[in-house]
Structure 1
């Protein structure tokens, strides 16, 4: 199975949209689904709140303010009509007993020129009511005592000081309404999150299964679940997986059969050539037969790279040490620098074959080889550098094609069968990674492998 790094599941990245709206939208299906649910609720509550403030709260505030202003106007009128101090005291006592207002008369005083010290919409509404109902000079002070409003009105006899409690000017239904709106929205939001998580979970499992299959890993315990559309997509994935696995199995069996059929006539040709004796023509034919055997073995190795070897947790550091030590025993000058405990799911035999091919390819064309392995963001990166002649940039993609060789001759001493890099890339992509070529800082070729964790 061949899977490139581009086949891995990646988060969707919007390209931009009208006025850049797509840039601020959630990128996950879960976030967008919640947005679809929450947006109408928020808009409905915003409209309801606007109507409430525009109608109920405004009307209620005006009625309460005009009620207080009306009581003050009545007290002021009575005080102006009372000629004696006894009658004024009786009026003040009546006001305190029937209006919940604390009214005092400061005889002989006049209002100061200071401006009204009041703030808020309630004070502004009360000011409008005082202008319409009292129609006398007045001031409003909301900073004298907490939860109380001081209203001072000037009359010919002096200044009438009125202390009104805030409860006469403000209705708590505003807070009750807002708490009800916010509380119900939070409850609905929590319910929506629970239901959306249950609906998104099968889609996430399908994405994880597809990503794991693309990395050559076994997808265990995957079952159909979720909505009918999600089940349909999951069923299509299972059918696709079976078809790919069946195609790989058929190809491997076909190549094994071809190998068996070709080896028999090649063996007869080798026996016949041995009986002909030694001469230049016979040696050339022996080289051709050996070349054919090498090509068959290389092609079988290429097919085995996508075989049915199980993926298992593998210590990549240990595997690299084994491959490098094997190359050193064959006379290669290889230096290894790898982090400890680089463990990830791999096909050990296929990965060993991939690394061995890369080192053998570097050894064939260079004197020294440097191998490094380190953990990167979400992946492990392996680099194989050499001090050889390198590969021209125009040919760096061609060398991954099966049987492509920069050396066009058929001399096996100057090049292999042309499948080494092909097998290496096939193995790496079978694990969901990729392999690239570039210039090495040592003057030769750098092969970079990236294996996802």
Structure 2
């Protein structure tokens, strides 16, 4: 049962439109099959038997009339009446004998109905040929003095209502299927718009023109999405405004402290105080940069390899050794300044703790990837998620004298996730650490 269930799941449509149409179509198909079976088993077969009995009865009447009036002139009149009144082309072959061979078993509904009718109404040796002629059935009946050959039109054995019923059944089914497809497509379109709006918002793109539409439940979901978007945007705005004030409040006393130190001149302990003030400034700037983010920057079409080239060139001018390779142009909506900052943090970390850095840009599985490999000491696998937490520094595996406040990786992942992607840390084939940046196309 488990294998059958998985097999059916693979065959079932994956989209909402396909599954909805399947829910509509399957009962319709079952209804059509049941209707066809009932029609074939009752009406069609009954009508076919009655038409076959009518034809066999006409043949039996001709035979009985020929027995009652055996003269040649009377036979001619009887055959003429059969042609004019019964639509039967009859011929009498004196002395002819049916082939001495077994009668073929009736295969189709027509053959079975006609054979039963001939056995009931004629009760003489006969042969039925329904295949030699396209529009006529040939019936040969053995008489005592010869053989009667009857050419009957096939339309006498078929009811036109059969084809009309089938055409109406198929036609109405196709019409209902078409109407259902149109309505379901309209309903699914609203769901797709909601999914697209959520995806765009998750990537940090503007979705101000999104309007709820569709069924009541879909509109409720869309309204909930709009409320969620408004709350998140309001929270980001409030955070930015608050941090702007915090920035001013913190920088003012630091500036006064720097002025006081400058006025003090060369006194004992001034160098240590200068370092403490500079460290405080770096910490404040790092914290504000992490909390503020780059939310005000609007996405634009950017060539990712060109952006990576600019970031790498900046580090090369500072003397860093970086091997860069990319697969060609990859244009996608990005916030260039914030993404350049995220890549700068990742490449800067690799340069700080390694002697050589390799950067690769390409497309993998519907996503753009930037791979940053180094030959440094790396990070233990069980602590790779920990380094993304704010103000976290791995003093055991990283040089504690290199500076920083433990926000570089946190800011990088935050920026990449606002683009709908993610930053992952893995083992590098070069012996150090690999930072994998994935951005959905």
CA offset digits 1:143-173 (Å, max 9, x no partner): 2211211111112112221111101111122
Higher relative contact order (CA 8 A, sep 6+): 1
Identify which range, 63-72 or 260-269, moves more after superposition: 260-269
Q: How many angstroms apart in 2 are the aligned matches of 1:149 and 1:83?
A: 26
Displacement of 1:360: 0.6
Which position in structure 2 is the counterpart of 1:38?
A: 25
Which position in structure 1 is the counterpart of 2:190?
A: 202
Of 392, 415, 418, the residue aligned with 1:427 is 415
Sort the Cα spacing of 1:98 and 1:86 in 2 relative to 1 into closer, same or farther, 3 A: same
Of 62, 77, 83, the residue aligned with 1:96 is 83
Identify which range, 348-357 or 87-96, moves more after superposition: 87-96
Identify which range, 388-397 or 26-35, moves more after superposition: 26-35
Sort the Cα spacing of 1:448 and 1:16 in 2 relative to 1 into closer, same or farther, 3 A: farther
Displacement of 1:267: 3.2
Q: What TM-score results when the alignment is normalised by the length of structure 1?
A: 0.89
Q: Map of 1:276-295 to 2, 5 A cutoff?
A: 277=266, 279=268, 282-295=270-283
Q: What TM-score results when the alignment is normalised by the length of structure 2?
A: 0.92
Q: Does 1:183 align with 2:166?
A: no
Of 52, 60, 73, the residue aligned with 1:73 is 60
Unmatched segments (≥5 aa) in structure 1? 1-14
Identify which range, 98-107 or 351-360, moves more after superposition: 98-107
SS of the residue corresponding to residue 68 of structure 1 reads helix
Which position in structure 2 is the counterpart of 1:57?
A: 44
Displacement of 1:184: 1.8
Q: How many angstroms apart in 1 are the aligned matches of 2:179 and 2:3?
A: 32
Sort the Cα spacing of 1:117 and 1:181 in 2 relative to 1 into closer, same or farther, 3 A: same
Which position in structure 2 is the counterpart of 1:234?
A: 222
Identify which range, 85-94 or 350-359, moves more after superposition: 85-94
Identify which range, 27-36 or 61-70, moves more after superposition: 27-36
SS of the residue corresponding to residue 159 of structure 2 reads coil
SS of the residue corresponding to residue 437 of structure 1 reads strand
CA contact (8 A) 1:116 1:141 kept: no
Identify which range, 441-450 or 28-37, moves more after superposition: 28-37
Q: How many angstroms apart in 2 are the aligned matches of 1:246 and 1:88?
A: 105
Report the RMSD for the aligned CA atoms in angstroms. Answer: 2.5
Which position in structure 2 is the counterpart of 1:264?
A: 252
SS of the residue corresponding to residue 402 of structure 2 reads coil
Identify which range, 48-57 or 231-240, moves more after superposition: 48-57
SS of the residue corresponding to residue 236 of structure 1 reads helix
Q: How many angstroms apart in 2 are the aligned matches of 1:47 and 1:235?
A: 44
Q: How many angstroms apart in 2 are the aligned matches of 1:125 and 1:195?
A: 46
Q: How many angstroms apart in 1 are the aligned matches of 2:305 and 2:397?
A: 37
Unmatched segments (≥5 aa) in structure 2? none
Q: Map of 1:348-359 to 2, 5 A cutoff?
A: 348-359=336-347
SS of the residue corresponding to residue 266 of structure 1 reads helix
